[in-house]
Structure 1
């Protein structure tokens, strides 16, 4: 068995004396693990950095075996990430969430394309937070937790939508929320693809997407805690905004 693809490196861990086990996210084979022989060597180890774009050749005797990878670098993102604290936090959030929630060997080509586009914006810190927010929305969609924000869940109207139901992920208008408003999640205009995306609205949107990542996605995966890298990125973004 063998296949060749490009992929984004998610995780690396040592295996034995000289090898490494890596996980890559590929468009055709999803999140896929394999052994890289000599992965701890001076030649290969610098290539195996989270977020790196790799050309990978996977081989195994049987399809359900872990198999082995041969890797060639396509594009490294380490230098850009290391040069900017927010970019590094964002890169770690993306790779951490993908490794956390993607089913093994299940293709998500649309999510892969958006992930690659997002990581290619690492050197544009003004664009990154909004692009990352849109990526989180795509991630929720792909994992089966799409937000329905076009009409009010109570009245069916499109006017004055201000909140999101934490249970259903549907929009709620200000009038329909009434006394329940303090139990609902914020619905800034940017979550509906509207407005100029000020930092304050993006921070509000992170509260809402973070709730569904934590209380729906992570919970359904067996009460696993969400990767801390996500909260570290949001905190770094808020600190930058405060300046």
Structure 2
């Protein structure tokens, strides 16, 4: 068995004395692991940094084997990520959530394209948090937990939307919320793609997307805790406000 693709390196861990196991996210093969022979060497180890764009060839005797990768660097994102706390935290949040969320070897081409585009914005701290928020919404949508924010779940109104139902993921208006308002999640305008998208609204929006990542996505994956990298990114962003 053999295939070749270009993708994003999600993680690396040592395997034996000289090899490494890497996890890739590629357009045609999804999240896919394999061994890199000599992956701890001075020549190859610097290439195997999370977020790197790699050209990879995977080979195995049988399809269900782990198999082995040969890798060629396309571009590194390490220097940009190491250039600022927010960039590094953001990179770790993205790679951590992809690795956590996606079933192994399941293709998610739209999400792959959005992920690559997002990582190419690393270092642009003025626009990256908003782009990352959009990416979290796309991740939820891709995996079947998308939010419906077009109209009120109670009244059907499209105006005055202020909350999100934690159970259904649907928008709720102030009128529709009534006495239940305190039990609902905030719906800042930025979540609906309107308004000025200021940093305070983005930070508030992370509370809402974080709820669905934790209580819907993670619960659907057996209740495993979200990667701490996501919380560290949100904290780093909140401190910058």
TM-score range, shorter chain: over 0.9
Cα distance in 1 for residues equivalent to 2:174 and 2:75: 47
Aligned-CA RMSD value: 0.5
1:83 maps onto 2:83 in alignment = yes
Q: Distance in 1 between matches of 2:65 and 2:55?
A: 20
Q: How does 1:32-51 map to 2 (within 5 A)?
A: 32-51=32-51
Q: CA deviation at 1:113?
A: 0.5
- Could you say what secondary structure the match of 1:42 adopts? coil
Matched with 1:148 is: 148
Q: Tell me, in whole angstroms, the C-alpha distance in 2 between the residues paired with 1:178 and 1:44.
A: 60
Distance in 1 (alpha carbons) for counterparts of 2:225 and 2:123: 29
* Alpha-carbon displacement from aligned partner over 1:157-176 (angstroms, at most 9, x marks no partner): 10100000000000000011
Give the CA deviation at 1:223. Answer: 1.1
- Which residue in 1 is equivalent to 2:137? 137
Write the distance in 1 (CA, Å) between the matches of 2:40 and 2:196. 46
Unaligned runs of 5+ residues in structure 1 are none
TM-score w.r.t. structure 2 length? 0.99
Partner SS, residue 103 of structure 1: coil
SS of the aligned residue for 1:105 comes to coil
TM-score, normalised via structure 1 length: 0.98
Match of 1:205 in 2: 205
Post-superposition offset of 1:123: 2.0
Structure 2: where are the runs of 5+ without partners? none
Q: Hey, what's the Cα distance between the residues in 2 that align with 1:27 and 1:137?
A: 19
Moved >4 Å (runs of 4+)? none
Equivalent residue, structure 2, for 1:196: 196
For 2:147 and 2:176, how far apart are their aligned partners in 1?
18
Tell me the equivalent position of 1:121. Answer: 121
Once the two structures are TM-superposed, the CA of residue 206 in structure 1 deviates from its matched residue by: 0.3
Aligned to 2:94: 94
Q: Separation in 2 of the partners of 1:105 and 1:12?
A: 17
| Cα distance in 2 for residues equivalent to 1:130 and 1:154 | 29
Provide, for residues 143-195 of structure 1, a one-character-per-residue CA deviation record: whole Å limited to 9, x for no partner.
Answer: 11010000000011101000000000000000110111110000001111101
Partner SS for 2:72: strand
How many angstroms apart in 1 are the aligned matches of 2:142 and 2:168? 16
